[in-house]
Amino acid sequence: MSFQEYLKFLTKEVVSYMALPPETRSQRKTAREQWTSRWFGAIPMSIKLLWRK
């Protein structure tokens, strides 16, 4: 991909994002998972479930 094609693609994405209403832009953000799950996977969750029982 040449730099010119990349620049066209990037410009197109920015323009389409800016064309969205502000309410729609803020709704696109999703909730993030807990940092323990994100960093270490399912192991902390399984330990937590075992600890509760």
10 Å CB burial of residue 27 (0-12, 13-18, 19+) is exposed
pTM > 0.85: yes or no: no
pLDDT per residue of the chain (53 residues) written in tens, 0 to 9: 799 999 999 999 999 988 888 877 776 566 777 776 677 777 877 888 888 86
Q: Does a structural domain hold residue 39?
A: no
Q: Does a structural domain hold residue 46?
A: no
Q: Cα separations (Å) of 21 from 16, 30, 36? A: 10, 17, 34
Q: Among candidates 5, 29, 6, which has minimal Cα distance to 17? A: 29
Q: Does a structural domain hold residue 45?
A: no
Q: Does a structural domain hold residue 42?
A: no
* Structural domain count, the chain: 1
What is the extent of the structural domain holding 9? 1-29
